[in-house]
Structures are given as C-alpha cells and as structure tokens.
Structure 1
Amino acid sequence: MKNKPLFTYEQSPGAPRKAYRARVPGLVARDCATQTVFPVNDISATGISLEDEAAALKVGDVLNIDVLLRDHVIITGLLAEVARRQDQVAGLKFTDLTQRQEERLDKLVLEVQKYTISKTKLYGSHIDDEHTT
C-alpha cells in the first residue's frame, strides 16, 4: 500500500514536534517567487517537510508557498521559514498564518487522520494482535 496516507507524531531530541504530521501521496509545495515545485514529505498545522534534492533551500530562508494536490491548489500563500535541513529534506515552520490558512491546514491533517482510522478499522489493526487466538 505505497500510496496510503499516513500520519505520525514525531519527537526529535532537540525540539519536540507539537503536531501530527500527515503524509499525502502526490502533495507538492510551489514556491510562489520562483515557481519551483517541491514534493512534500509530510505536513502539519505548524510546518511542512519538503524534498529538496538540489539543496536550494537554506536554514533561515523564508518562502511564500502554495500547497497543491494533483495540480489543484488547496492552500495558498503560506509563509514558511526553513528551520532545519537534513540531507535532501528541508523542514519549514509556518509563520503568520491567517485564520483561513490555519483552518485549511487543520482540515487537511484531520482528513488524513480520519482516512487512516477508517482503513485501520476496515483492514484490522495490529494493536489487537495480542488478543487474537
């Protein structure tokens, strides 16, 4: 199930993350200034993780990005600052979000969580494996 959306709650030793991070196959972020498109690793209400093979994004860079799914813009004009880099991945934190943008991000992450829960119920959960006979 390669294209299955996932969500996780991650903690890193230096700075614990504070939000669920949703993985959505086909989600991309487009830098409004350069029109560069970056595949999205995951997204949360507080930030986004982008694939950046060319290492174009540097810590401290501020971008204005649109988030697209299958060439359809779902959230526009997100201000995000590059907070960390690891190998070919840049982690950005959102800044100065409008209420509408916060609502759209919350809805996106919630929809992925609901989808994952429904699939878990439909196909079973490994949580109950110890109770099977």
Structure 2
Amino acid sequence: MNKLLFTYEADSDLPRQAYRARVPGLLGKDVATQAVYLVRDISAGGISLEDPAGALKTGDALKLDVLIKDRTIIAGLSAEVARHVEAITGLKFTGLTQHQEQRLDKLVLEIQKHLISKLKHGGSHIDDEQTT
C-alpha cells in the first residue's frame, strides 16, 4: 500500500498559505535583467528560486516569466522578494491579473494530479528530505 506523503518547513513559524508544487526543469526569468533561476517550488501565492549568488534582495520587486523547456508558460508575474535564506529566495506574487491567477492555479492543479496518479500507480513522491 502506498502512503501519501507531505512536506513541511520546520524552520518556519508561519503556516503555508497554499500548496507548493515542485516541477523539475521549471525556470523563472527576471524580465528586466533576463537572469534565469531554477524554480524550487511554486504555488498560487508565490515562488521560491535558487539564487546562490544572492542577486535578489528582500523587498526587491520584479516581473517574472515562468518557463519550462524554453517555453514561457506564464508571463509577467509581479512578485516581491519576501525572504532570502542561504541560496533560496522566496517571492510572493503581487497584483496578478485574473488570467495569471488562473494559469497558476491550473499549473499547480496539474502537478497535484500528476503526483496523485504516480502514487496510485506505485510511483514515488518527489519532495524534500522532510517528509511525514
């Protein structure tokens, strides 16, 4: 029997506001600087990016395109850097259009459906080392 697994952030005292999905190969591109970051996870409320150089600073506002396989799947997301911990930068989305919100919701839902399907068919759960 397969067990359903979920993750949590042990060092955070704030509850999660939305389900966070992980997609291998998902990228975030800063529209202004054209800098490309590997996406650690994404939700309807925000995104976390791998930023080992520390280019993004708390409070920075930017427009972000989300890409997979060099194809933009969601364009021009307004975001603000909420935190930077080690090489991971967390951004919260701000002022999204209804279309952008719908695209984010659809992306996260499709990822959830894919993971559920994998679990039902004997696949493994891809996630952090902190699983319960």
TM-score by length of 2: 0.85
- Which runs of structure 2 are paired with 1:1-133 in the superposition (5 Å)? 8=7, 10=9, 13-123=12-122
RMSD: 2.1
The whole-number CA distance in structure 2 between the counterparts of 1:75 and 1:43 is 12
Structure 1 position 17, deviation (Å) = 1.7
More strand by share: 1
Structure 1 position 8, deviation (Å) = 4.7
The whole-number CA distance in structure 1 between the counterparts of 2:28 and 2:101 is 16
Q: Percent identity?
A: 65
Q: Assess, with a 3 A threshold, how the Cα gap between structure 1 residues 9 and 64 changes in structure 2: closer, same or farther.
A: same
The whole-number CA distance in structure 1 between the counterparts of 2:98 and 2:9 is 25
More helix by share: 1
The whole-number CA distance in structure 2 between the counterparts of 1:20 and 1:85 is 20
Count, aligned residues: 121
Structure 1 position 11, deviation (Å) = 7.1
Report if the CA contact (8 A) 2:118-2:124 is conserved: no
Q: 1:100-124 CA distances to partner (integer Å, 9 max, x unpaired)?
A: 0000000000000000000111117
1:131 is aligned to none
Q: Assess, with a 3 A threshold, how the Cα gap between structure 1 residues 104 and 36 changes in structure 2: closer, same or farther.
A: same
Structure 1 position 13, deviation (Å) = 3.6
Higher relative contact order (CA 8 A, sep 6+): 2
Report if the CA contact (8 A) 1:59-1:82 is conserved: yes
Which is higher, the Rg of structure 1 or of structure 2? 1
Q: Which runs of 4+ in 1 moved over 3 A?
A: 6-13
The whole-number CA distance in structure 2 between the counterparts of 1:70 and 1:32 is 17
TM-score by length of 1: 0.84
Report if the CA contact (8 A) 1:27-1:67 is conserved: yes
The whole-number CA distance in structure 1 between the counterparts of 2:73 and 2:6 is 19
The whole-number CA distance in structure 2 between the counterparts of 1:79 and 1:125 is 34
The whole-number CA distance in structure 2 between the counterparts of 1:75 and 1:99 is 12
The whole-number CA distance in structure 2 between the counterparts of 1:108 and 1:7 is 19
- What are structure 1's unaligned runs of at least 5 residues? 1-5, 127-133
Q: 1:2-48 CA distances to partner (integer Å, 9 max, x unpaired)?
A: xxxx9756575432221000000000000000000000000000000
Report if the CA contact (8 A) 1:9-1:21 is conserved: no
